[in-house]
Structure 1
């Protein structure tokens, strides 16, 4: 299974909900198996969930990483908020455009899930 989860929510509760949904999918053996490719793409205000100063659920981010989930954030959104790549949590990568990453991943066969 190849899945991309899109997060753009500003509310930390909605951001947490997105991570919980992603973890639930990974723990669900009826749809997930070892070796599945899962990517979370955050853009807009959603990037804050992966920034050192504003990440409220670091342990969930670490759990996603332990599962091998790729975590991508939109550099355009970061710049718009005055945030540099150096301020991201360890292991989180920035991409030039979150929308571009979403389009590319879907073109590569990733199923799309819009989280809060």
Structure 2
């Protein structure tokens, strides 16, 4: 064997345990640090599918319950297009309690008036505790320019 081969084999034996030990170490990550004083986020809901609605409402609840964000987050739910289903009184058995709970926790529930016109939906058909915006797209554009995060589950 050459000196080079012996050196290579020796180096391999000496470094192999360190490489193996590094591979077995599980990195510890506790999530991003909430270093800002306050966070603003808008959730966009434009689907009437029950799973999508329920998932969006659950995501909002998860954000409200995240210990890093407790007392530091403002949330708005902007609904348009097929998402109008979440606010319909006919679906109140499905979503009313959850919506009221989110609203009680400070979530602003907002319906697009353009959607109501396009779909011939009257405000009296919707739950009485929601708010309105002329245009969901306009709302999202304005909030984004004001620094709000936009989440579209």
**Higher relative helix content:** 2
TM-score by length of 1: 0.90
Q: Are 1:96 and 2:134 counterparts? A: yes
Residue matched to 2:104: 66
Q: CA deviation at 1:35?
A: 5.0
**Which one has a bigger Cα radius of gyration?**
2
**1:12 paired to 2:47:** no
Residue aligned with 1:54, SS: helix
Q: Is the 8 A contact 1:8 1:47 kept in 2?
A: yes
> Cα distance, 1:80 vs. partner?
1.8
Partner of 2:81: 44
Which of 107, 119, 122 aligns to 1:81? It is 119
TM-score (norm 2): 0.70
RMSD between aligned residues: 1.3
Q: Which runs of 4+ in 1 moved over 6 A?
A: none
Give the 3-state SS of the residue equivalent to 2:151 in structure 1: strand
Structure with the larger strand share: 1
CA 54–81 in structure 1, closer or farther in 2 if over 3 Å, else same: farther
Q: Which 5+ residue runs of structure 2 have no aligned equivalent? A: 1-38
Q: By how many angstroms is 1:51 displaced?
A: 1.7
CA drift at 1:27: 0.4
Corresponding residue to 2:62 among 10, 18, 24: 24
Contact 1:72 1:92 in 2 (8 A): yes
Structure 1: which 5+ runs fail to align?
Answer: none
